[in-house]
Each structure stands twice: as C-alpha cells, then as structure tokens.
Amino acid sequence: MSKRPRTLDSFFSPPPKRVRQPEENSGTITTSAPGQESSSERKLSRHPTYPFPVPDLPSCISDMLNFAPAVEPRVINDQPDLNLLYYQPYVPKEIARDLFEFLRRELFFYRVRYMIKRGPVETLINTPRFTTVFGVDETARWSEDGSLNDCKSGRSVSKDGYKCKPRPLPHCLDVLRTLTEGATGCQFNFALVNYYANGKDSISYHSDDERFLGVEPAIASFTLGARRDFLMKHKPTPEAHVSETKALKLPLGSGDMVLMKGLTQSRWLHSIPKRTGGEADRGRINITFRRAMFKGGTENYYRYNVGDGEVYRWNEPRQEMLPWKTA
C-alpha cells in the first residue's frame, strides 16, 4: 500500500482526535482534524486498508437524507419471475447532485483488469467502468479498532482468513445503507460502487445470482448523476416461457433506486449498455447494497472491484478520474 504524503504540519501537530462511534460499530475510525473541533468540523473515516481517508457526509446532505425515500416505490411484477420496487427518486432531488459530486470527489476507484480462461484460450478483460467496494460477508464483523472478528468464535480473523483485505463502509455510504435497510426491511453488508465516466463505460448483461448471496437475494441499486438506460431481459429457458416475457428499459435518473428481489436475479439479466451522445458524458455513479453470506463473496467482490491495480481519484480541474499519485 502506498504511503500518504506527510506535510510539515502533520509532523508537528498532535495525532487526530478520536471521536466515539455513534451507533453500532461500523469498523472505521472517525477522526477530526486537529484544531477543527467546532460543530462544523470535517470528520473523516479512516482505515488502514483505505489509500486515503474519506470525509463524512456534510450535514446539508445527511439532514436531507432523512426525507428519503422521496416517493413511494412503483411495484413492477407484471412479468414472470420479475420483482422490482422502483423509487423515482429515492434520494430527494435537492441533494442528488451534491451527493453525486461528493462521492465522485471523495471515494477512491479502480479500473480492474483480470484474465479469464475459456477452454484453452486466456483473455484479458478490462472492466469498462471504474469500481470500488466496501464490506465483509456475514461470517465476520468489525471490531472497535477496525480489525475483523469471526462471528462464530468471536476471535480475530487470522491473517490468512481472507486473501483480500476487506474494507469497512465509510460513514458516507454507511448512512445510506442504514436508511435503505430501514426503508426496505432488507439487510446489507456490502456496498459496490460503479462510476461510468461516459457513454463508453458500461456493464454487460449479467445477473447477480452467485451462491454466496443466498436464495432470492435483495439488491438495492442507486443511480446518481447522468441518466442511463437499465435494460432487463428474461434468461433463456428451455420452455416456451421466454416468449411470454418482454425486455424492459428503465431510464434511471439521478436519485432513483431499484430494489431487485425475489426471483429477479435467478431468472432475469440486467445491463447498462454503451451509449453515444446524451448526458452519459457527465458521469454516473451506481451504488449497489447487497448481503453476502460467505467468505467466497468477500473474495469475489474485492477481486473484481478493487483488484491489484492503481488507485484512481477524481481530479476537479481536469474533470476526470486520474491515477491518484499523479492527480
């Protein structure tokens, strides 16, 4: 892991003051910068696995999140095996833009590359979007000092417990996770974040139906920033079933949330296709909250959403994601 640059100030100032966690332990350590201990202080979520600390949500955003969900959801279950709740929007319009800009500016992202083997042929896959992930599966829990404890034994997870290094949700995503749990009655232990910089970024047809999510997983999927089409189609089936279904296009706008549940993941596919023109070039953030049951889920999510490549960070003057060290 790269070292954070140290300024002369940081050598001479006392270590950051630690602030007690308000509720259940989120795993991050909240600190306020020295000399900034007024009520308007900027608190930071820190963790040894983070390349840099992540600021907490400013109160102008978190206060307005108390009005979420902004509307009642539309139920979409008029096709076989389809079970969606569509909040249009979930995040109040007044703060959707600020929340988008905050997360784009403050989170670290990756452009993951990995090899797949189809028969004897190995192919390099360049994930066509920026990604990042936080969370750990149900077998482990964060302790006060930011380390992981095994849920069964209560003992700390050994060094080789995971190949990856799980990261706790920073406060800014944990607030949204907690609200979403309250509104949906579902539980989530992961936040996966995608950033689609422009219309060339995409996610191809897939379903999130891995065994580590358990049966009939519920996934809450947020859109912030540019509107992008979310396409859905039924998986091919041997019977005539497939002809009874028609493909679906949800034009997801900033603040919208789709809760996918029931048989949706096991029977339907979804995608964000590439686009030319339109507003895609303004950038879109997608956050999915999920619940992984086993260690394999944690390994999978870090492998494909963090990987082992360089860190990217939003560069405001250049208006693009750039490798962090040169940003």
Ligand X SMILES: O=C(O)CCC(=O)C(=O)O
Binding site for ligand X (CB under 6 A): 192, 194, 203, 208, 221, 230, 270, 272, 286, 288
- Phi, psi torsion values for 324, nearest 5 degrees: -60, -40
Q: Which is nearer to ligand X, 181 or 208 (CB)?
A: 208
**Least distance (Å) from Fe ion to the CB of residue 99?**
21
Interface residues for Fe ion in 192-211 (CB under 5 A)? 208
Question: Does 132 appear as a known binding residue?
Answer: no
Question: Does 267 appear as a known binding residue?
Answer: no
d(CA 96, CA 17): 31
**Which of Fe ion, ligand X, none does residue 83 bind to, with CB < 5 to 8 Å depending on kind?**
none
Q: Which is nearer to ligand X, 28 or 288 (CB)?
A: 288
**Least distance (Å) from ligand X to the CB of residue 20?**
34
Q: Which is nearer to ligand X, 194 or 298 (CB)?
A: 194
**Least distance (Å) from ligand X to the CB of residue 59?**
28
Q: Which is nearer to ligand X, 149 or 207 (CB)?
A: 207
Diameter over CA atoms, the chain: 72
Chain residue at closest Cβ approach to Fe ion: 208
CB 181 within 8 A of CB 290: no
Question: Does 284 appear as a known binding residue?
Answer: yes
**Least distance (Å) from Fe ion to the CB of residue 208?**
5
Quote the tokens at residue 267: 């029977």
Report the candidate in 271, 261, 256 with the shortest Cα–Cα distance to residue 73. 256
* Residues, the chain: 327
Quote the tokens at residue 105: 């500016």
Question: Does 234 appear as a known binding residue?
Answer: no
**Which of ligand X, Fe ion, none does residue 272 bind to, with CB < 5 to 8 Å depending on kind?**
ligand X
**Least distance (Å) from ligand X to the CB of residue 146?**
26
Question: Does 241 appear as a known binding residue?
Answer: no
What is the spatial order of strands in the sheet that 54-55 belongs to? 17-18, 29-32, 43-46, 54-55
**Least distance (Å) from ligand X to the CB of residue 257?**
10
Q: Which is nearer to ligand X, 184 or 221 (CB)?
A: 221
**Least distance (Å) from ligand X to the CB of residue 131?**
8
Question: Does 66 appear as a known binding residue?
Answer: no
Query: Interface with Fe ion includes 98 (CB under 5 A)?
Result: no
**Which of Fe ion, ligand X, none does residue 224 bind to, with CB < 5 to 8 Å depending on kind?**
none
**Which of ligand X, Fe ion, none does residue 87 bind to, with CB < 5 to 8 Å depending on kind?**
none
**Which of ligand X, Fe ion, none does residue 286 bind to, with CB < 5 to 8 Å depending on kind?**
ligand X
Question: Does 81 appear as a known binding residue?
Answer: no
Question: Does 196 appear as a known binding residue?
Answer: yes
Site residues (CB under 5 A) for Fe ion?
Answer: 208
* Annotated binding-site members for substrate: 209
* Annotated binding-site members: 194, 196, 206, 209, 270, 284, 288, 290
* Annotated binding-site members for 2-oxoglutarate: 194, 196, 206, 270, 284, 288, 290
